[in-house]
Structure 1
Amino acid sequence: MTTTELWCDRCGDPVTAGAAHPGCASARQLEPPRYCHRCRRRMKVQVLPVGWSAVCVEHGEIRG
Protein backbone atom coordinates (compact mmCIF):
# COMPACT_ATOMS: atom_id res chain seq x y z
CA MET A 1 0.00 0.00 0.00
CA THR A 2 1.40 3.39 -0.96
CA THR A 3 0.15 6.74 0.18
CA THR A 4 0.90 10.25 -1.01
CA GLU A 5 -0.58 11.96 2.03
CA LEU A 6 1.87 14.00 4.05
CA TRP A 7 1.74 14.57 7.78
CA CYS A 8 2.55 17.58 9.95
CA ASP A 9 5.98 16.96 11.48
CA ARG A 10 5.01 18.70 14.72
CA CYS A 11 1.48 17.46 15.60
CA GLY A 12 1.16 14.40 13.34
CA ASP A 13 -2.14 15.48 11.77
CA PRO A 14 -2.68 15.23 7.99
CA VAL A 15 -1.43 18.14 5.93
CA THR A 16 -4.00 19.06 3.30
CA ALA A 17 -4.31 21.99 0.95
CA GLY A 18 -7.23 23.48 2.85
CA ALA A 19 -6.01 23.03 6.44
CA ALA A 20 -3.03 25.12 7.41
CA HIS A 21 -1.13 24.59 10.63
CA PRO A 22 -0.07 28.15 11.55
CA GLY A 23 0.70 27.23 15.17
CA CYS A 24 2.82 24.32 14.07
CA ALA A 25 4.63 26.39 11.44
CA SER A 26 5.60 29.07 13.94
CA ALA A 27 6.66 26.51 16.58
CA ARG A 28 8.80 24.63 14.04
CA GLN A 29 11.01 27.70 13.69
CA LEU A 30 12.25 26.99 17.22
CA GLU A 31 11.63 23.24 17.71
CA PRO A 32 12.77 20.07 15.92
CA PRO A 33 10.19 17.85 14.19
CA ARG A 34 8.46 15.25 16.37
CA TYR A 35 6.69 13.15 13.70
CA CYS A 36 7.94 11.81 10.38
CA HIS A 37 6.21 13.79 7.62
CA ARG A 38 6.18 10.72 5.35
CA CYS A 39 4.78 7.99 7.62
CA ARG A 40 3.47 9.76 10.78
CA ARG A 41 5.68 7.74 13.12
CA ARG A 42 6.88 9.43 16.28
CA MET A 43 10.61 10.09 15.90
CA LYS A 44 13.46 9.82 18.37
CA VAL A 45 14.65 13.42 18.81
CA GLN A 46 17.90 14.59 20.34
CA VAL A 47 18.51 18.28 20.96
CA LEU A 48 22.15 19.39 21.20
CA PRO A 49 23.72 22.81 21.82
CA VAL A 50 24.67 23.00 18.14
CA GLY A 51 21.43 21.68 16.62
CA TRP A 52 19.17 18.63 16.66
CA SER A 53 18.73 15.20 15.08
CA ALA A 54 15.51 13.24 14.58
CA VAL A 55 15.38 9.57 13.59
CA CYS A 56 12.48 7.73 11.96
CA VAL A 57 12.86 3.94 12.07
CA GLU A 58 11.48 3.73 8.51
CA HIS A 59 13.01 6.78 6.78
CA GLY A 60 16.26 7.48 8.66
CA GLU A 61 17.77 10.57 10.23
CA ILE A 62 17.39 14.27 9.57
CA ARG A 63 19.44 17.03 11.20
CA GLY A 64 18.99 20.70 11.77
Structure 2
Amino acid sequence: MVEDLPTPIGAGVYDVYTGFPVGDSDTGSPVGDGVPLAARLGLEPPRFCAECGRRMVVQVRPDGWWAQCSRHGRVDSTDLDSAR
Protein backbone atom coordinates (compact mmCIF):
# COMPACT_ATOMS: atom_id res chain seq x y z
CA MET A 1 0.00 0.00 0.00
CA VAL A 2 2.86 2.42 0.77
CA GLU A 3 4.06 1.96 -2.82
CA ASP A 4 0.73 3.41 -4.04
CA LEU A 5 1.17 6.68 -2.12
CA PRO A 6 2.58 9.79 -3.82
CA THR A 7 6.35 10.28 -3.49
CA PRO A 8 6.34 13.09 -0.87
CA ILE A 9 4.63 10.81 1.66
CA GLY A 10 5.15 7.29 0.33
CA ALA A 11 8.85 6.88 -0.48
CA GLY A 12 9.66 5.70 3.04
CA VAL A 13 13.26 6.92 3.45
CA TYR A 14 12.39 9.68 5.95
CA ASP A 15 9.62 9.94 8.52
CA VAL A 16 7.02 12.42 7.25
CA TYR A 17 6.30 13.78 10.75
CA THR A 18 9.79 14.11 12.24
CA GLY A 19 12.16 14.31 9.25
CA PHE A 20 14.45 11.65 10.74
CA PRO A 21 15.48 8.61 8.67
CA VAL A 22 13.02 5.73 9.05
CA GLY A 23 14.33 3.30 11.65
CA ASP A 24 16.55 5.91 13.34
CA SER A 25 16.07 5.20 17.05
CA ASP A 26 17.94 8.32 18.22
CA THR A 27 15.12 10.83 17.69
CA GLY A 28 15.32 12.43 21.12
CA SER A 29 11.60 11.95 21.69
CA PRO A 30 10.42 11.06 25.21
CA VAL A 31 7.75 8.83 23.62
CA GLY A 32 10.40 6.68 21.99
CA ASP A 33 9.12 6.32 18.44
CA GLY A 34 9.48 10.02 17.53
CA VAL A 35 6.00 10.32 16.02
CA PRO A 36 3.85 12.99 17.70
CA LEU A 37 0.62 11.82 19.32
CA ALA A 38 -1.53 13.96 17.00
CA ALA A 39 0.12 12.31 13.99
CA ARG A 40 -0.48 8.84 15.42
CA LEU A 41 -4.16 9.76 15.79
CA GLY A 42 -4.33 10.94 12.18
CA LEU A 43 -4.86 14.59 13.11
CA GLU A 44 -1.57 15.98 11.78
CA PRO A 45 -0.60 16.41 8.11
CA PRO A 46 2.87 15.29 6.99
CA ARG A 47 5.53 17.99 7.44
CA PHE A 48 8.61 16.42 5.80
CA CYS A 49 9.12 14.77 2.41
CA ALA A 50 9.52 11.00 2.76
CA GLU A 51 12.00 10.80 -0.11
CA CYS A 52 14.41 13.65 0.62
CA GLY A 53 13.60 14.72 4.21
CA ARG A 54 13.09 18.38 3.27
CA ARG A 55 10.50 20.43 5.12
CA MET A 56 7.35 20.76 3.01
CA VAL A 57 5.02 23.70 2.60
CA VAL A 58 1.74 22.63 4.23
CA GLN A 59 -1.69 24.25 3.99
CA VAL A 60 -4.44 23.02 6.30
CA ARG A 61 -8.03 23.57 5.13
CA PRO A 62 -11.35 22.81 6.82
CA ASP A 63 -11.80 19.82 4.50
CA GLY A 64 -8.21 18.50 4.58
CA TRP A 65 -4.67 19.61 3.71
CA TRP A 66 -2.05 19.73 0.98
CA ALA A 67 1.70 19.43 1.32
CA GLN A 68 4.32 20.36 -1.28
CA CYS A 69 7.97 19.38 -1.54
CA SER A 70 10.12 21.69 -3.63
CA ARG A 71 11.67 18.65 -5.35
CA HIS A 72 8.92 16.01 -5.45
CA GLY A 73 5.67 17.89 -5.95
CA ARG A 74 2.38 18.21 -4.15
CA VAL A 75 0.09 15.74 -2.44
CA ASP A 76 -3.45 16.51 -1.34
CA SER A 77 -5.41 14.70 1.36
CA THR A 78 -8.38 14.40 -0.99
CA ASP A 79 -6.19 12.32 -3.33
CA LEU A 80 -5.47 9.94 -0.46
CA ASP A 81 -9.17 9.61 0.40
CA SER A 82 -9.92 8.25 -3.07
CA ALA A 83 -7.24 5.57 -2.56
CA ARG A 84 -8.94 4.14 0.53
Q: Which residue of structure 2 aligns with residue 11 of structure 1?
A: 18
Unmatched 5+ stretches in structure 2: 1-10, 26-31, 78-84
CA deviation profile, 1:23-58 (whole Å, cap 9, x unmatched): 517432110000000000000000000100000010
Question: How well do the aligned residues superpose, as a CA RMSD in angstroms?
Answer: 2.3
TM-score by length of 2: 0.60
Q: Which residue of structure 1 aligns with residue 65 of structure 2?
A: 52
Structure richer in helix, relative to its length: 2
**Match status 1:35 vs 2:35:** no
Unmatched 5+ stretches in structure 1: none
Shift >6 Å, 4+ stretches: none
**Match status 1:24 vs 2:31:** no
Cα distance change, pair 5–45 in 1 and its aligned pair in 2 (3 A): closer
Per-residue deviation, 1:63: 1.1
Per-residue deviation, 1:5: 6.9
Paired residues, what number? 59
Identity %: 42
State the one-letter code of the partner of 1:24: V
> What is the rounded CA distance, in whole Å, between the counterparts of 2:62 and 2:12 in structure 1?
33
> What is the rounded CA distance, in whole Å, between the counterparts of 2:69 and 2:19 in structure 1?
13
